[in-house]
Structure 1
């Protein structure tokens, strides 16, 4: 008799508003997996974040996901260059180091906060660091094997040479970050693809921006493997 009443009570709860509440609580706190962080931050301080004038540099290995991450930075409102190509690289930043100070001076005069994307930026960063206002590095990492495979498809390299180049690039970028000790966000491209909303949230945080949940959701939909289309291109 007691078991019958218990079953009736459970049945009524399942079909009631209370049942909906219980299911929502279950989905929110039990069923839903916790979002995993996709990045690591180095050398960032409250003082470095509290600066009106800032410059962001998106870098990483060639074929390593820098365009996708740069697209997020741009969609979040940071000026990343004029007349950008499909890879979101500004041709003015492919000039020699001797010409870059003038380019940087021009951008500093136009914008309080701006940036550029060039995968091998760490190679020239030390030569222009004194021209930059509060530089902040976004270093994109990707599985070296994936980068190596991509390089073999697009360049005339052996697998061994492509893998070696991929690993050497990552090592060099980390060394530059360590030597310069500028605020840096090291972000995993693979994890960003799997947890795109978390990626946008963590990038926005590093950019010192307060972004709405709806905007984060919109931008996150455009982080797709092999796709460089940004939310601005809708």
Structure 2
């Protein structure tokens, strides 16, 4: 059963009221819930409510609260993904998988070889809205306790690098360490702020490689094979989370 997000205003001492049209459609028409079914809800403060459905209609679902507890389904890592915007649905896949893995913050970036071109503020806002919707649906599916922050699209060189303790650039071909060996060789704490940068389909240009070097990025390889950009997202984030997450 998927998890549903609710606002504090929908919760009283004993029950949760669902009147959001999208959630109602999912609950009533898709999942076909009925009285007595068990549902999980989560609020803005990351409290999870186990509930039993007490009333179902096309306009309202009521669920009685059985138990309330703080969610533990959240990364302890302070991890940011900066992903060069990909073409077609590849960016949607990258967002989805990053959210499934628990990434708290995602920054879409523009690089020299970024294929999609954003010509207006309206187009940018539309993309961000779409990605937030993908993130929201993914959080429900994987029972994640909080929505990630998806920042505005920025050029690579405008990233605020001062806030990060560890900066990693995933390169197509690198004479440096594989990511796994790098992660095991550098000091870190639970408070370390980690930035992982992944490029577009065509990789980074020489100017961007110079940018990484000048700004003390650790250039790493994800293995001997050339990965699709959206696959690189899964590989890199999984490796960081495996090595550093409690």
Fold shared per TM-score above 0.5: no
More relative contact order, 1 or 2 (CA 8 Å, 6+ apart)? 1
- Structure that is richer in strand per residue: 2
- Structure that is richer in helix per residue: 1
> Is the radius of gyration larger for structure 1 or structure 2?
1
TM range (shorter): under 0.3
